[in-house]
Amino acid sequence: MLGKRLEDLMGKAGYTRKTFCRECGIAEATLCRYLNGERSPSVRKVDVMARALGVDPSFLLEERSDDPYAEVCRSVDRFGNLLTTQQRVEVVLGLINRDPDACNVLGTLLRKEEQDGQTGNDPQVG
C-alpha cells in the first residue's frame, strides 16, 4: 500500500524518482525497495517524504483505500483551530480539488507547528 501511494503522490506532485530522492535525502535503490514493498521506511523518513508530498505522514501509512475526504477531514481537524473560517473553507475546497496552494497553507502550518514546538510558542497563521 505504501509503495502505490508513494508512486501516485510523486506523480501528482511532479516528482521523478531521482528528484524525489534528492528532495528527501534517500538513495534511489532505497526508494525502489519502499515502492516494491521490500523495505519499510523509518518514521523519520516517512515524515520527510510526507512533507515533500504535502500530505500528513499517517496518510502514507494507512491501510485503507485512498479517500480524499478523509485526508481533508484529518488536515482540517488538525489545524482548524489555527485558521479563520474563510481559510478553512479555502483549504477544504483546495484539498478536494488537489490545489497546491491549499497544501502550501497546510505545509506552512506544519512548519510553524514544528518550530513553535521547539520554542514553546503557540502557532499562528499570518
**What does the pLDDT look like over 25-82, one tens digit per residue?**
999 999 999 999 898 898 899 999 999 998 888 878 775 545 555 656 666 666 666 7
- How far is the C-alpha of 116 from the C-alpha of 112, rounded, in Å? 6
- How far is the C-alpha of 126 from the C-alpha of 108, rounded, in Å? 10
Look up residue 126 and give its three cell numbers.
499570518
Residue type for position 53: L
pTM of full prediction above 0.85: no
> Would you list the domain boundaries of the chain?
2-61, 68-119
- The DSSP call for residue 38 is S
Look up residue 93 and give its three cell numbers.
475546497
Domain 2-61 classification at class level = mainly alpha
**What does the pLDDT look like over 81-118, one tens digit per residue?**
677 777 777 776 776 666 666 666 666 666 666 666 55
